[in-house]
Structure 1
Amino acid sequence: MITARMKESRMKLTGNDPVAVMGIVNVTPDSFSDGGRFLCPEAALAHGRALLADGADLLDVGAESTRPGFEPVPAEEEWARLSPVVGTLVAEGAVVSVDTTKALVARRALEAGADVINDVWGLQADPEMASVVADSDAVAVLMHNRNEVDAALDLRADWRRFFDRSLELAEQAGLARGRIVLDPGVGFGKTQAQNVEAVARLGELKSEYGLPVLLGVSRKSMFGHFLGRAASERLAGTLATNLYGVEQGAAILRVHDVREHVDALKMRQILKDVR
């Protein structure tokens, strides 16, 4: 049963054995890969259910694009897009993550039963976000981000600066470290070389903080840059990069193509079990 399996998968979110697969549901008109396809609630729900049937452990539902040059969405509009999707998926037994930087949206999502708040600004965009998540029992994904790209950036030092601040905010709010996952922020405020470095050094980030790490590279522009592939042709690059990330210690993979990642992870485990 999907409901039982999905509720059990809640336990995966703060570990890495086995790796959790997070399916992406963009309830947006302008996301870089599938903007507009799932904007209406019925389409979003159908897509979410299909991802669950394909083996997703949880769904990451977002209603504001975070691609470069995105149009900000007022909190009320963001929640209006999310509400029918989040509420229904939770009622059907799915483990739901809500991708938002706004405390108001996060609070309503948590009240509706969301298990995870995925904040691409690591609690630093809205001063109320840390306390909203702390007052729940939800997991918080804290992603590294930057307003500007700097080719001379020391990525490890900037990770440390950013995450030290995010974890300070979490501690001040009473958000336990056991409910925190870090995200290296591939594709956010970085050059393409830094995006590659972020994946390659993922294990160092995990070791630095002793926290699980989410990797989100699905269909991103780095594959267009290095491979010359359009967004619809980036599955192979995404799979290879995510499997490398798992070897570095990634606990959660945030992906558009769930079935293919579930199959790849199953084969990886079968091969490991031969040892």
Structure 2
Amino acid sequence: MPKVTKKTLNCRGRLVDLTQPAVMGILNITPDSFFADSRVSLNNTVATAERMLQDGATFLDIGGYSTRPGAAEVSPSEEADRVLPIIEAILAAFPTALISIDTFRASVARQAVALGAVLVNDIAGGTLDPAMFGTVAELGVPYILMHTRGTPQTMQSMATYTNVTTEIIDELAIRLTELRSLGHKDIILDPGFGFAKTPTQNFELLHYLDDFKVFDEPILVGLSRKTTIWKTLKIKAEDALNGTTVLNTVALLKGASILRVHDVREAVEAVKLTQRLTFF
């Protein structure tokens, strides 16, 4: 019998239905994110969050460590100091907002969940902090298991594959088995576009995205304004919205359950339009 992709997430007692794909808005609390317009501060974060929620974001993903290739190291305490006040400010203004903490550090994840975050987005898939899997299993919050190799500083030197899709599936399967063995149930898989992958590998991975249906977990796709788009089109990240929407649409047609984006309204429109195809 074919596997059926899980369509709900239990976010600390609130059931999120993924029958219609969800959109996750990106809030980078960093001075060096690759897309400058996504960087926010405590002064403007509530307004940015409000706009994303009004535009239809299901989740707000808050990160304090830039993971662009070659990004500078940030200490755990500095990362926590960046993101925790933002989580408090957003939840004070919008108590029902679903906050995702974008971190590969178990200590930051624990502090964020204590403040009200309901989801952990780990770009390292547990490879950079051995305490992460045990922590999220204990906390019982949904966890995004992303594929990468190395660190943000070294990952682009590790983009060597014989078959990028099958190798990523195999590597995710190992991590997924380990996490499930701890009793964790709500897991989202992210192939990790742009992380230890070249633009050509990213396009190949997107082409074969429906191969990830071998898993019974929702798939998150994060292609928003990435190098793969703007280098291919020979433009800047600031001009890559149209390209982002094109690739998001492809991802939706191939089974993505969550789009992680800088531009929420356009992604929500892509979801609504592609969902119309299911009527036939």
User: TM-score with structure 2 length normalisation?
Assistant: 0.87
How far 1:8 sits from its partner (Å)?
Answer: 10
Aligned residues: 262
Report matched runs for 1:38-57 at 5 Å.
Answer: 38=40, 40-57=41-58
Q: Does 1:167 align with 2:173?
A: no
Mapped to 1, the partners of 2:140 and 2:117 lie a distance apart of: 10
**1:96-115 alignment to 2 at 5 Å?**
96-115=99-118
Contact 1:131 1:175 in 2 (8 A): no
Residue 34 of structure 1: CA displacement?
1.9
Question: Does the Cα contact within 8 Å between 1:26 and 1:35 map onto a contact in 2?
Answer: no
Does the CA contact (< 8 Å) of 1:123 and 1:169 recur in 2?
no
1:210 maps to which of 209, 213, 216:
216
| Secondary structure of 2:33 counterpart | coil
Corresponding residue for 2:84? 83
What is the root-mean-square deviation in Å for CA atoms of aligned residues? 2.1
Partner of 1:201: 208
Q: Which amino acid aligns with 1:82?
A: V
Structure 2 matches for 1:49-198, cutoff 5 A?
A: 49-91=50-92, 92=94, 93-147=96-150, 148-176=157-185, 179-198=186-205
Per-residue deviation, residues 103-128 of structure 1 (Å, max 9, x unmatched)? 00000011111111000111121011
TM-aligned CA deviation for residue 268 of structure 1: 2.8
Is 1:253–2:259 an aligned residue pair? yes
Query: What is the aligned partner in structure 2 of residue 23 from structure 1?
Result: 25
What is the Cα deviation at residue 161 of structure 1? 3.4
Structure number with higher helix proportion: 1
Provide the rounded CA distance (Å) in 2 between the counterparts of 1:212 and 1:55. 19
- TM-score normalised by L of structure 1: 0.89
- 1:79-125 alpha-carbon deviations (Å, 9 max, x no partner): 11111111232342200101000000000011111111000111121
The one-letter amino acid of 2:25's match is G
For 2:230 and 2:277, the matched residues in 1 are separated by 30
One-letter amino acid matched to 1:154: N
Q: Which amino acid aligns with 1:90?
A: L
Moved more, 147-156 or 83-92: 147-156
What is the alpha-carbon distance in structure 1 between the residues aligned to residue 220 and residue 277 of structure 2? 23
Quick one: distance in 2 between partners of 1:86 and 1:169? 29
| Alignment of 1:229 onto 2:235 | yes
Q: Does the 8 Å CA contact 2:125/2:175 hold for their aligned counterparts?
A: yes
Output the CA distance in 2 between the equivalents of 1:248 and 1:235. Answer: 20
Q: Name stretches of at least 5 consecutive residues in structure 1 with no aligned partner.
A: 1-5
Q: Counterpart of 2:34?
A: 32
Q: CA deviation at 1:50?
A: 1.3
In 2, are the aligned partners of 1:41 and 1:84 still within 8 Å (CA)? yes
Where does residue 3 of structure 1 map in the other structure? none
